[in-house]
Structure 1
Amino acid sequence: MDVAVVEYGSCKTRPSALLNSIFMTTVKAAAKSLVAVASNAKATDQQSHKWRATDHMRFMLMLMTWLAVWVLRVLMDHSPFSTASLDDLMMLPSIGASSSFDLVLQQDSSDHIQPPPSAKALGRALTHILALLNEIPASSRKYQFALGMANKIIDENTKCGHLEMLQVNCSALASAFARTSGLLYSSLKSPRMSDDSWTWPSRILRSIPLGSFVASSLKGLATYFPWVGTVTSLFENKRQLVVPNHEESVNDLAAEKHAQELLWITSKMIECGAVDEVLVQWSLSSGLASISLLSNLRVQGLIVTITAMLIGELNKVKDEVPRQVKFNILVLWIPVLCFAENGVPYPVLTGYERLEIEKTMNNLISTLPSIDQEVILTNWMQDFMTTSSDWPNLQESYDHWCHSTREFNMLEGEQLCESTLNIEYKI
């Protein structure tokens, strides 16, 4: 079937809904009359070459209908009651040898051919699932379902091997790493004191005029009336025993969950080749590094595992990583390695793994400038001497730095003496 496209030029206004409905009804009627006249004309030509009176009437009715279509089209283009732009396409059949005719009308953009799905849609889906993991409790069976879905999408994108699919994994995991590390930091922060920490007698007194003055005066009354201090202390002790401990346990569970998720995301980023991104983010996590020293032992063990994993990866790409990233990771996370404890019945790292991490850190330190080595090793010496742990032992790097500094100063001294002798000789 041949289809001719008749495009009406876009005008500045869109006709009203009533006028548009009348126009479309008239177009359909005109199309039907055109098909009827053409069919009758073909049948008449086959039987006899003369038209009957009804054929002439049908033909005149068709012409009048199409004239009405033209008049309505003019009204729609120049109607003062229009409201928006119009870009309508009408698909009309060309009259040929075919015995049947079709009328195709295309009016909205909804009938246009939709573009193929892009990789961004898959990236949004993966990002959404990773965000849900942070919100779903780890004890829920839906948590394992979401984790399995995320693993499936990441693994299939990796197996595909397409560069765009690998970029989807890297972007979604980098966003998840930043979000999860922020949640871990928030859950490790100590709860701040609020107005709820006041006992109910104090809150009642402070709600009335001059109440703050009266509440503070109660402490003075305890000197003359001991029972005032006893009752106040009972309320305060009860609140301190119940509320803070409950908040601490909730924060510890949330922190451990986020630390587990951060460990999983880190391993996935390493598998997907996003090592550079995770190293940069870990080198900027100064707040998390400092607050993790006060976290519970299980969270410390997970953070030590993440740090050891990233130090090993850093050693593999040390020539491609900026100096500042290497320096930040070592200076921020070596104190955590010194002070963190296992917190579990079994060691977080085996003896062999600890030795390998020590060798790796010694190797990384040797690639840094002398001034960076001084800062890192001075801080390590301070932490190593004040903790009961014997790991990590960076004495090899410390001795090497002392030796290289000594040799450099001796070389400078010799050069200075030679330059002085040359000056005296010339004089």
Structure 2
Amino acid sequence: MAVSLAMEQSYKMKPSTLLNSIIMSTVKAAAKTLVSVTSSTAVREGEKWKAGDHFRYLLMLTIWVTVWVLRVMMDHFPCSVIPSPSAIMGRFSGGGFLSSSSPSPSLSLLLHDGPENGELDGSSDKAIGRALSHIFGLLNEIPATSMKYQFTVAMADRIVDDNVREGDESLQEINRTALSTAFSRTSSLLYASLQSMIQQQQPETATWPSRLLHMLPLGSHLLSYFTTISGLLPSATSNCQSQKQNSLVIFGEVTGFAGDSVMAEKLGKELLWITSKLKFCSAIEEAVIQWSFASGLASLSLTAHPRVQSSIVQISAILFKELGRGELEASRQLKFRSLILWLPLFCYASNGLTCPVFTVGEKAEMERVIEEVILSLPPSDQEIILSNWLQDFTISSSDWPNLQSCFDKWCRSSRKLLL
């Protein structure tokens, strides 16, 4: 009864989603019609309106004003426009229809919010898993500048840690499932954000030399380099700055290139945090498998912002270390795909100036890890990986990772095979 009363009150205080959508769609249609009438060819040429133009104008204007008056009345004078759940459930009785004592199937999960007769039913035995997945979904949507963002992170962190502390296998499986799903969703959102940034860096007004360079491999790097030394070509950086200045703020959120840049940095940090939690829950294999298939994200990360690259490099480093330990049952294809996709990023990514991604000792450790993973593969796979590394290493301005010792070992083993 208490739940039913609460739902009734909420229905009275809020207009329905369907009614909201009808109102907004009608307003948009009215606005478009007004704009089309006032900007018609006849108006531009100085001709007089026809009777039909006047009628359409007055009709749409009336609809627009009426809709907004209704909206204001609904906001300030709430009324029970939509029937309450109790009224809906009590409308029919007997004959196969719902009675007031039997809730509808669509509301059964909402009304049964606890165990019945001391036992967990099928709708609540995995409620903690659904709650955890819901929190991870909210985490992707909440802006990092919001005061509730850290609150949401702490809540998800606490639930995962409590599940691990209990030690029950079903709770461990809930952690693995929720974190694996969150890793997949966050990496997909990060890819979409980076892809949107790349598209905004290629305006239609760009000159043909810049378009040609963008079509080449690592074209963004070449374009930035030529722009720096000569200033003859329009650079992606200048486009970024202009789009940052022209970005809009709608409902408190930044849109445009600046919004995508901030979102990509936020998603990169979230993905790094999720990877750390997967490692903490002994479920890192889920991330290793997904990361080895993320070819689109690996390609876009080469030209991403250094702060975004920082998170992606740290994720790759964590997963490489797991591959190097040998505790995972990683196949040859899994190791090969991981190295061939993400090793180029290590060569092209910026290490950071004010806050380096890795220290000198961490860089040396990562070189040893990468060497161990490469040498665990067959010679044919080593040849492909090391050949690609040599090309990327010689082209890039970075001096890391230096896999010369690994390359020398492969040369010696190849020489022995030949002799």
TM-score when normalising by structure 2: 0.59
Q: Does 1:373 align with 2:382?
A: yes
Task: Please tell me the residue identity of whatever aligns with 2:348.
Answer: F
Q: 1:356 is matched with which residue?
A: 365
> Residues 195-210 of structure 1: matches in 2 within 5 Å?
none
Displacement of 1:370 in angstroms is 1.2
Does the C-alpha gap of structure 1 residues 373 and 123 become closer, same or farther in structure 2, counting only changes over 3 Å? Answer: same
Contact 1:188–1:295 (Cα < 8 Å) also in 2: yes
Instruction: Give the one of 298, 315, 327 matched to 2:324.
Output: 315
Equivalence map 1:78-117=2 (5 Å)? 83-84=95-96, 113=117, 115-116=119-120
Q: 1:250 maps to which residue?
A: 259
Q: Distance between the aligned counterparts of 1:314 and 1:252, measured in 2?
A: 31
From the superposition, tell whether residues 240 and 134 of structure 1 become closer, same or farther in structure 2 (CA, over 3 Å): closer
Matched, 1:276 2:280: no
Aligned 8 A contact 2:322 2:328 in 1: no
Count of aligned residue pairs for this structure pair: 269
Shift, 1:325, TM fit: 1.0
Q: Give the structure 2 partner of residue 129 of structure 1.
A: 135
Alignment partner, residue 20 of structure 2 = none
Trace 1:169-248 onto structure 2 (pairs within 5 A).
169-189=175-195, 190=197, 192=199, 241-242=242-243, 246=247, 247-248=256-257
The 3 A distance-change label for structure 1 pair 83 and 169 is same
1:346 partner SS: coil
- Displacement of 1:126 in angstroms is 0.1
Q: Does the CA-based 8 Å contact 1:133-1:146 persist in structure 2?
A: yes
Q: Which residue of 1 aligns with 2:145?
A: 139
Question: Quick one: distance in 1 between partners of 2:131 and 2:119?
Answer: 18
State the alpha-carbon separation in 2 of the partners of residues 121 and 157 from structure 1. Answer: 13
CA-to-partner distance for each residue in 1:130-174, whole Å, 9 max, x for gaps?
A: 000000011111111111110110000000000110110010000
Give the conservation status (yes or no) of the 8 Å contact 2:278–2:287: yes
- Larger radius of gyration, structure 1 or 2? 1
Verify the 8 A CA contact 1:298 1:344 in the aligned structure 2.
Answer: no
Partners of 2:343 and 2:140 in 1: CA distance? 28
CA offsets, 1:250-303, max 9 Å, x none?
111000000010010000000001011110011111111110111111111111
Supply the AA of the counterpart residue of 1:289. Answer: A
Between the aligned partners of 1:360 and 1:159, the Cα distance in structure 2 is 31
Confirm or deny: 8 A CA contact 2:191 2:297 kept in the other structure. yes
Note if 1:159 corresponds to 2:174.
no
Amino acid at match of 1:116: L
Question: Which structure is higher in RCO with an 8 Å CA cutoff and minimum separation 6?
Answer: 1
CA displacement at 1:402 relative to structure 2: 1.2
For the residue of structure 1 that corresponds to 2:126, the secondary structure is helix
Give how far 1:84 is off: 4.2
1:311–1:239 distance in 2 versus 1, CA, 3 Å:
closer
Give the aligned residue type for 2:266. Answer: K
Q: Distance in 1 between matches of 2:198 and 2:321?
A: 35
Q: Which runs of 5+ in 2 are unaligned?
A: 1-93, 98-111, 206-237, 248-255
Deviation per residue, 1:106-147 (Å, 9 max, x gap) = xxxx99847415552111100000000000011111111111
Residue pair 1:297, 1:343 contacting (<8 A) in 2 also: yes
Distance of 2:153 and 2:328 partners within structure 1 = 34
Q: What CA distance in whole angstroms lies between the structure 2 residues aligned with 1:303 and 1:119?
A: 36
Structure 1 pair 388/192, CA: closer, same or farther in 2 (3 Å)?
closer
Deviation larger for 117-126 or 307-316:
117-126
Please name the residue that 1:259 is paired with: 268
RMSD of aligned Cα (Å): 3.0
1 CA distance for matches of 2:298 and 2:175? Answer: 26
Gapped regions of structure 1 (runs ≥ 5): 1-81, 86-109, 199-236, 411-427
* Matches of 2:198 and 2:245, distance apart in 1: 8
SS at 2:302's partner residue?
helix
What SS does the aligned partner of 1:347 have? coil
Q: TM-score, normalised by structure 1?
A: 0.58
SS of 2:356's equivalent? coil
1:314 and 1:326 in contact (8 A); partners too = yes
Question: Using a 3 Å threshold, how does the CA distance of structure 1 residues 399 and 242 change in structure 2: closer, same or farther?
Answer: closer
SS of the residue aligned with 2:191? helix
Instruction: Give the % identical residues.
Output: 46
Matched residue, 1:347: 356
The Cα of 1:192 is off from its aligned counterpart by 3.9
Corresponding letter in the other structure for 1:133: L
The answer as to whether partners of 1:293 and 1:340 remain within 8 angstroms in 2 is yes
Corresponding residue number in structure 2 for 1:406? 415
| Cα 1:119/1:168, change in 2 over 3 Å | farther
What is aligned with 1:232? none
Task: Identify if the C-alpha distance between structure 1 residues 153 and 239 changes in structure 2 by more than 3 Å, giving closer, same or farther.
Answer: closer
